[in-house]
């Protein structure tokens, strides 16, 4: 089996968590199948600032350093990765199911005529062939996807599917490469990067979060949960539907389009557990879920689950705290 290539995702000089998650899975597969983990880093002139962070997580690091790579450019990335695939002939290439990955992975699959599976939550190897695990029906069923025969397979990984820990400590060899001289000119121009406003509170720093979803019913019920959060000494947060309805500001949202949080305790009230939300709580210590639907996906990741009306639980907790 060939090597496993992982596309390193970064922003403003920092490695994104999805990279650590993909490297964890790549190392697990490499150990099981006797292959190597290769990290592909396309960075600016200061691209080597992340090398120390990656060295323990890969057997080899391939670094392209050029000012044109300082910011993500899907067309340019596609061309570079395509040439790397031809040179390295890896067994797998792992790319995050992120705005980066959703831009570059399908285009790469078309250009290289390689099979691809998107938004995968796991990978298994059977008879020297990969099988991708995907969720369907809003996460209620896991499907196993097979590929047509190929030398290389492209798989995009859903954020939050794997740990961010170091699987096995490595000491990667670093290979710095010059940019290919005959790359087509980019049709994009990077103007600037603007962070969303921090808001009045920063839920990413909270040690206890009481989070609400559609199950809250209506906006007038939010103060009831807000009071509970205050009694517990925590903050209130929410899933995307609450923000979409404009019931709470964006800076309270947890998930891929909100914030990733790492509280010691995460109390999820009336949240179904869509993958976009679950990806934002992978760092939480203890997850407690309350939902009337016993098949809600949130129970797959919860440490403790209560199948009941959230308001009965909220009122009971408030009485105990009083």
Q: What is the residue extent of each domain of the chain?
A: 4-177, 203-321
The pLDDT of residue 246 is 94
Mean predicted confidence (pLDDT) in 70-85: 92
The pLDDT of residue 1 is 76
The reply to whether 4-177 and 203-321 are identical in fold is yes
The pLDDT of residue 141 is 80
Instruction: Give the SS3 label for residue 306.
Output: strand
How far apart are alpha carbons 90 and 81 in whole angstroms?
Answer: 11
Write out the DSSP string of 64-109: EE-GGGSS--HHHHHHHHHHHHHHH--SEEEEESSHHHHHHHHHHH
pLDDT tier at 139, thresholds 50, 70, 90: low
pLDDT tens digits along 148-191: 999 999 999 988 788 888 988 888 999 999 888 888 888 777 78
- Phi, psi angles (nearest 5°) of residue 203: -65, -20
Mean predicted confidence (pLDDT) in 202-229: 94
pLDDT tens digits along 257-299: 788 888 999 999 999 998 889 888 988 999 999 999 999 999 9
The pLDDT of residue 6 is 97
pLDDT tens digits along 231-248: 999 999 999 999 999 999
Residue 200 has pLDDT above 80, yes or no: no
The pLDDT of residue 47 is 61
Q: Please state which CATH number belongs to domain 203-321.
A: 3.40.50.1220
Question: How buried is residue 185: exposed, middle or buried, by Cβ count under 10 Å (0-12/13-18/19+)?
Answer: exposed
Residue 48 has pLDDT above 90, yes or no: no
Q: Please state which CATH number belongs to domain 4-177.
A: 3.40.50.620
| Residue-averaged pLDDT of the chain | 90
pLDDT tens digits along 13-30: 789 889 999 999 999 999
The pLDDT of residue 49 is 66
- Phi, psi angles (nearest 5°) of residue 124: -130, 155
pLDDT tens digits along 80-117: 999 999 999 999 999 999 889 999 999 999 999 999 99
Question: How buried is residue 306: exposed, middle or buried, by Cβ count under 10 Å (0-12/13-18/19+)?
Answer: middle
Q: Are strands 129-136 and 10-11 parallel, antiparallel or unpaired?
A: unpaired
The pLDDT of residue 198 is 55
The pLDDT of residue 70 is 82
pLDDT tier at 136, thresholds 50, 70, 90: confident
Sign (positive/negative) of CA torsion 214, 217, 219, 224? negative
The pLDDT of residue 196 is 55
The pLDDT of residue 199 is 63
């Amino acid at each position: 089996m060939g090597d496993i290539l992982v596309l390193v995702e970064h922003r403003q000089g920092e490695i994104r968590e999805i990279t650590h998650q993909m490297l964890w899975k790549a190392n697990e597969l490499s150990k099981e199948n006797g292959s190597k983990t290769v990290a592909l880093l396309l960075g600016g002139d200061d691209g080597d600032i992340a090398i120390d962070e990656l060295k323990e997580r890969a057997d080899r690091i391939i670094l392209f350093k050029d000012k044109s790579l300082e910011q993500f450019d899907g067309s340019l990335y596609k061309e570079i990765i395509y040439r790397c695939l031809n040179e390295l002939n890896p067994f797998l290439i792992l790319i995050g199911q992120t705005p980066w990955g959703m831009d570059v992975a399908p285009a790469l699959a078309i250009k290289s005529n390689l099979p691809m599976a998107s938004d995968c939550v796991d990978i298994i190897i059977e008879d020297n062939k990969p099988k991708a695990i995907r969720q369907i029906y809003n996460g209620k069923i896991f499907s196993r996807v097979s590929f047509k025969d190929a030398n290389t397979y492209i798989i995009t990984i859903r954020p939050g599917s794997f740990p961010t820990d170091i699987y096995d400590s490595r000491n990667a060899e670093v290979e710095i490469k010059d940019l290919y001289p005959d790359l087509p000119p980019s049709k994009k121009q990077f103007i600037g990067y603007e962070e969303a406003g921090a808001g009045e509170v920063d839920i990413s720093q909270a040690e206890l979060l009481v989070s609400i979803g559609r199950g809250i019913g209506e906006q007038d019920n939010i103060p009831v949960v807000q009071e509970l959060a205050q009694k517990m000494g925590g903050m209130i947060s929410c899933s995307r539907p609450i923000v979409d309805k404009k019931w709470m500001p964006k800076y309270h949202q947890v998930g891929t389009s909100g914030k990733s949080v790492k509280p010691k305790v995460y109390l999820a009230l009336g949240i179904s557990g869509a993958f976009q939300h679950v990806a934002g709580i992978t760092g939480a210590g203890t997850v407690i879920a309350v939902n009337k639907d016993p098949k809600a996906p949130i129970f797959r990741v919860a440490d403790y689950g209560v199948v009941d009306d959230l308001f009965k639980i909220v009122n009971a907790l408030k009485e105990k705290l009083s």
